[in-house]
Amino acid sequence: MQTSGIVIAGGLSNRFGQNKGLTLLAGKPLIKHVLNSLEKVAEELIVVVDSKAQAARYSKAVGSNFRILVDSTELHGPVAGAITGFEAASGEYSVLLPCDTPFVSSDVLSLLVELCINRNAAIPRWPNSFIEPLQAVYRSKPAAEAAAKALCTGEVNMRAMVNKLSGVRYVSTMVIEQFDSEFRTFFNVNTPADLRRAEMMVSRHMDKRPR
Protein backbone atom coordinates (compact mmCIF):
# COMPACT_ATOMS: atom_id res chain seq x y z
CA MET A 1 0.00 0.00 0.00
CA GLN A 2 1.55 3.28 -1.09
CA THR A 3 0.89 6.35 1.01
CA SER A 4 1.25 9.92 -0.23
CA GLY A 5 2.07 12.89 1.95
CA ILE A 6 0.52 16.26 1.12
CA VAL A 7 1.63 19.53 2.72
CA ILE A 8 -0.46 22.64 2.12
CA ALA A 9 1.91 25.59 1.94
CA GLY A 10 -0.03 28.20 -0.02
CA GLY A 11 -0.81 31.70 1.15
CA LEU A 12 1.08 34.57 2.72
CA SER A 13 0.96 34.94 6.48
CA ASN A 14 0.22 38.55 7.34
CA ARG A 15 1.54 38.02 10.84
CA PHE A 16 4.93 36.90 9.51
CA GLY A 17 5.01 38.97 6.34
CA GLN A 18 6.40 36.02 4.39
CA ASN A 19 5.57 32.45 3.47
CA LYS A 20 5.11 30.88 6.88
CA GLY A 21 6.52 27.55 5.81
CA LEU A 22 9.84 29.21 5.04
CA THR A 23 10.15 30.75 8.51
CA LEU A 24 13.26 29.31 10.18
CA LEU A 25 13.13 27.21 13.32
CA ALA A 26 16.37 25.72 14.64
CA GLY A 27 18.09 26.70 11.41
CA LYS A 28 15.68 25.16 8.93
CA PRO A 29 12.29 26.13 7.44
CA LEU A 30 9.14 25.06 9.26
CA ILE A 31 8.06 23.01 6.26
CA LYS A 32 11.31 21.05 6.37
CA HIS A 33 10.49 19.90 9.90
CA VAL A 34 7.10 18.72 8.62
CA LEU A 35 8.59 16.93 5.62
CA ASN A 36 11.18 15.17 7.79
CA SER A 37 8.40 13.57 9.84
CA LEU A 38 6.20 12.91 6.83
CA GLU A 39 8.87 11.08 4.84
CA LYS A 40 8.95 8.40 7.56
CA VAL A 41 5.38 7.34 6.74
CA ALA A 42 4.84 8.33 3.09
CA GLU A 43 6.58 7.11 -0.06
CA GLU A 44 5.56 10.19 -2.03
CA LEU A 45 5.79 13.81 -0.85
CA ILE A 46 3.72 16.61 -2.39
CA VAL A 47 3.79 20.32 -1.48
CA VAL A 48 0.91 22.49 -2.71
CA VAL A 49 1.53 26.23 -3.17
CA ASP A 50 -0.39 29.17 -4.63
CA SER A 51 1.90 30.35 -7.42
CA LYS A 52 4.91 29.51 -9.57
CA ALA A 53 6.90 32.19 -7.75
CA GLN A 54 6.08 30.56 -4.44
CA ALA A 55 7.02 27.16 -5.87
CA ALA A 56 10.43 28.53 -6.86
CA ARG A 57 11.03 29.91 -3.37
CA TYR A 58 10.17 26.60 -1.72
CA SER A 59 12.29 24.61 -4.15
CA LYS A 60 15.28 26.88 -3.51
CA ALA A 61 14.89 26.79 0.27
CA VAL A 62 13.99 23.15 0.84
CA GLY A 63 15.30 21.17 -2.13
CA SER A 64 13.62 18.94 -4.66
CA ASN A 65 13.01 15.58 -2.99
CA PHE A 66 9.27 16.20 -3.31
CA ARG A 67 6.77 17.33 -5.92
CA ILE A 68 5.66 20.95 -5.88
CA LEU A 69 2.20 21.60 -7.28
CA VAL A 70 0.56 24.96 -7.89
CA ASP A 71 -3.07 25.19 -6.83
CA SER A 72 -4.94 26.08 -10.01
CA THR A 73 -8.45 26.35 -8.55
CA GLU A 74 -10.24 29.69 -8.61
CA LEU A 75 -11.05 29.47 -4.90
CA HIS A 76 -8.19 29.61 -2.43
CA GLY A 77 -8.15 27.95 0.96
CA PRO A 78 -7.26 24.62 2.56
CA VAL A 79 -9.81 22.61 0.55
CA ALA A 80 -8.46 24.04 -2.71
CA GLY A 81 -4.95 23.02 -1.71
CA ALA A 82 -6.16 19.63 -0.53
CA ILE A 83 -7.95 18.74 -3.76
CA THR A 84 -4.86 19.63 -5.78
CA GLY A 85 -2.87 17.17 -3.68
CA PHE A 86 -5.50 14.42 -3.57
CA GLU A 87 -5.97 14.45 -7.37
CA ALA A 88 -2.22 14.17 -7.96
CA ALA A 89 -1.49 11.61 -5.24
CA SER A 90 -0.27 8.19 -6.36
CA GLY A 91 -1.06 6.58 -3.03
CA GLU A 92 -4.43 5.09 -2.17
CA TYR A 93 -4.17 6.99 1.11
CA SER A 94 -2.87 10.51 1.70
CA VAL A 95 -1.56 12.13 4.87
CA LEU A 96 -2.64 15.77 4.84
CA LEU A 97 -0.70 18.36 6.84
CA PRO A 98 -0.21 22.13 7.07
CA CYS A 99 3.28 23.59 6.67
CA ASP A 100 3.45 25.16 10.15
CA THR A 101 3.39 22.15 12.50
CA PRO A 102 7.10 21.53 13.12
CA PHE A 103 6.58 18.96 15.88
CA VAL A 104 4.16 16.69 14.03
CA SER A 105 4.77 13.14 15.22
CA SER A 106 5.58 10.40 12.74
CA ASP A 107 4.26 7.90 15.31
CA VAL A 108 0.90 9.67 15.35
CA LEU A 109 0.86 9.80 11.56
CA SER A 110 1.61 6.06 11.36
CA LEU A 111 -1.27 5.39 13.73
CA LEU A 112 -3.67 7.45 11.61
CA VAL A 113 -2.55 5.67 8.43
CA GLU A 114 -3.22 2.31 10.05
CA LEU A 115 -6.64 3.39 11.33
CA CYS A 116 -7.62 4.75 7.92
CA ILE A 117 -7.32 1.39 6.16
CA ASN A 118 -10.71 0.46 4.67
CA ARG A 119 -12.07 3.87 5.72
CA ASN A 120 -12.25 7.13 3.82
CA ALA A 121 -10.59 9.17 6.56
CA ALA A 122 -9.01 8.97 10.00
CA ILE A 123 -9.31 12.33 11.74
CA PRO A 124 -8.24 13.28 15.28
CA ARG A 125 -11.08 14.55 17.47
CA TRP A 126 -10.87 16.33 20.83
CA PRO A 127 -13.29 15.63 23.71
CA ASN A 128 -15.17 18.86 22.88
CA SER A 129 -15.82 17.44 19.36
CA PHE A 130 -13.33 19.81 17.68
CA ILE A 131 -11.59 17.94 14.86
CA GLU A 132 -8.16 18.25 13.24
CA PRO A 133 -8.93 17.76 9.51
CA LEU A 134 -5.60 19.29 8.48
CA GLN A 135 -3.67 16.69 10.44
CA ALA A 136 -5.44 13.61 9.17
CA VAL A 137 -5.27 10.73 6.71
CA TYR A 138 -7.69 10.34 3.80
CA ARG A 139 -8.38 7.83 1.07
CA SER A 140 -7.22 9.93 -1.85
CA LYS A 141 -9.97 9.43 -4.44
CA PRO A 142 -13.06 9.79 -2.18
CA ALA A 143 -11.43 12.78 -0.49
CA ALA A 144 -10.86 14.47 -3.85
CA GLU A 145 -14.51 13.90 -4.72
CA ALA A 146 -15.68 15.34 -1.39
CA ALA A 147 -13.40 18.35 -1.81
CA ALA A 148 -14.81 18.95 -5.30
CA LYS A 149 -18.36 18.92 -3.91
CA ALA A 150 -17.38 21.48 -1.26
CA LEU A 151 -15.73 23.76 -3.80
CA CYS A 152 -18.76 23.56 -6.09
CA THR A 153 -20.80 25.22 -3.34
CA GLY A 154 -18.10 27.79 -2.61
CA GLU A 155 -17.04 26.18 0.66
CA VAL A 156 -13.29 26.30 1.23
CA ASN A 157 -12.96 25.11 4.84
CA MET A 158 -12.00 21.55 5.70
CA ARG A 159 -15.07 20.89 7.84
CA ALA A 160 -17.24 21.34 4.72
CA MET A 161 -15.19 18.73 2.88
CA VAL A 162 -15.34 16.28 5.79
CA ASN A 163 -19.13 16.70 6.02
CA LYS A 164 -19.37 15.47 2.42
CA LEU A 165 -17.23 12.40 3.08
CA SER A 166 -18.69 9.09 4.27
CA GLY A 167 -16.79 6.37 6.10
CA VAL A 168 -14.89 8.72 8.43
CA ARG A 169 -13.18 7.27 11.50
CA TYR A 170 -12.70 9.82 14.26
CA VAL A 171 -9.70 9.10 16.47
CA SER A 172 -9.91 10.32 20.06
CA THR A 173 -7.05 12.52 21.21
CA MET A 174 -6.97 10.30 24.28
CA VAL A 175 -5.60 7.59 21.99
CA ILE A 176 -3.14 10.01 20.41
CA GLU A 177 -1.99 11.06 23.89
CA GLN A 178 -0.44 7.62 24.30
CA PHE A 179 1.96 8.47 21.45
CA ASP A 180 2.39 12.20 22.14
CA SER A 181 1.64 13.02 25.76
CA GLU A 182 2.11 16.78 25.32
CA PHE A 183 0.17 16.97 22.02
CA ARG A 184 3.14 18.68 20.40
CA THR A 185 2.00 17.25 17.08
CA PHE A 186 -0.87 19.76 16.99
CA PHE A 187 1.26 22.81 17.77
CA ASN A 188 0.89 25.44 15.02
CA VAL A 189 3.25 28.36 14.49
CA ASN A 190 0.82 31.15 13.63
CA THR A 191 2.50 34.21 15.17
CA PRO A 192 5.97 35.43 16.14
CA ALA A 193 5.03 34.56 19.74
CA ASP A 194 4.32 30.98 18.64
CA LEU A 195 7.71 30.89 16.95
CA ARG A 196 9.45 31.98 20.15
CA ARG A 197 7.56 29.28 22.03
CA ALA A 198 8.62 26.70 19.42
CA GLU A 199 12.23 27.79 19.84
CA MET A 200 11.92 27.22 23.59
CA MET A 201 10.42 23.79 22.94
CA VAL A 202 13.37 22.89 20.71
CA SER A 203 15.80 24.15 23.33
CA ARG A 204 14.18 22.09 26.09
CA HIS A 205 14.29 19.00 23.88
CA MET A 206 17.99 19.54 23.19
CA ASP A 207 18.70 19.94 26.91
CA LYS A 208 17.08 16.56 27.59
CA ARG A 209 19.26 14.71 25.08
CA PRO A 210 21.93 12.46 26.61
CA ARG A 211 25.39 13.95 26.51
What is the rounded CA–CA span in Å between residue 118 and residue 103?
A: 28
Residue 5 has pLDDT above 80, yes or no: yes
What is the rounded CA–CA span in Å between residue 158 and residue 124?
A: 13
What pLDDT does residue 210 have?
44
- Please state which CATH number belongs to domain 3-208: 3.90.550.10
Domain ranges within the chain, ordered by starting residue: 3-208
What pLDDT does residue 154 have?
86
B/e letters for 114-149, b = 16+ CB within 10 Å, e = fewer, are ebbeebbbbbbbeeeeebbbbbbbbbbebbbbbbbb
Q: pLDDT tens across 121-175, in order?
A: 999 999 999 999 999 999 999 999 999 999 998 888 899 999 999 999 999 999 9
Angle ∠(159,128,100) on CA atoms, nearest 5: 55
What pLDDT does residue 15 have?
57
Residue 42 has pLDDT above 60, yes or no: yes
Q: 206 — phi, psi (to 5°)?
A: -65, -35
Note whether 139 and 121 are within 8 A (CB).
yes
Q: According to DSSP H, which parts of 89-191 are helical?
A: 106-116, 140-152, 158-163, 173-176
Could you tell me if residue 113 is left (phi over 0), alpha (psi between -120 and 50 degrees) or otherwise beta?
Answer: alpha
Q: pLDDT tens across 166-205, in order?
A: 999 999 999 999 999 999 999 999 888 999 999 999 987 6
Residue 14 has pLDDT above 60, yes or no: no
The whole-model pTM stands at 0.93
What pLDDT does residue 18 have?
67
Q: What is the mean pLDDT of residues 79-90?
A: 94
